[in-house]
Every structure is written in structure tokens, then in C-alpha cells.
Structure 1
Amino acid sequence: MEATRDPIDGDERAELHWLRKENAFLRVQLDVLTDIATGYARDVDRILRLRARG
């Protein structure tokens, strides 16, 4: 017996569209925050190395 899928209704389609946009936005935020954190970690490492020398 083969199961048939019900097509999604208008509300579900709108929610899916919203979730996809939200997911894309969150991925951009993650990329930005990762870049910021990486830069911060490099700066702190550089400062600590300079302090250790002198």
C-alpha cells in the first residue's frame, strides 16, 4: 500500500517560507559572529604574546 502525501496548505507554505528566510538570516548572523570572535581571539593572542616578550 502506497501512502499519499497531502500537499501543504497556504498557512503551512507561508510558515515554511518564513522559516527558510529566518534560517538564512541566522546563518548570516552566525557567520558574522564567528568572524568577530575569530578576530577577537587573534587580537587577544597577539596582545598576550607581546606581553610575554616584554
Structure 2
Amino acid sequence: MEARHAEMETVRDHFVIEDEADECLWVFRSGDGIDPETGSHRWFCRGIFA
């Protein structure tokens, strides 16, 4: 059961998006977006590309 718990804590969906200033952002959501056991579902910015 411990391995399953550790795996669920690292679920992330990564996306590259473009903002209104034409900058590309690398963002991720903690968790799978559906099951609260997979993470907080909060969004984070990992990087900005020119």
C-alpha cells in the first residue's frame, strides 16, 4: 500500500500554454484533476519560454 500512496502523490498533468503577451508557459496541475487523493489540483508555473 505504501508504494501506491507514493505514486499517487506524484501525479501531475503538464501543459504548455501561451498567454496574451505571446509568452509560452510550462505549467502543471498537482493531481489528476478528478480524484482528490491524487493531489491538491492546484496549478504551478514551472517555466517561461521566450
The two structures share one fold, judged by TM-score above 0.5: no
Q: Higher helix proportion, which one?
A: 1
Largest Rg, 1 or 2: 1
**TM-score (ref. length: structure 1):** 0.29
The answer to which structure has the higher strand fraction is 2
TM-score for both structures, normalised by structure 2: 0.31
| Higher RCO structure (Cα 8 Å, ≥6 apart) | 2
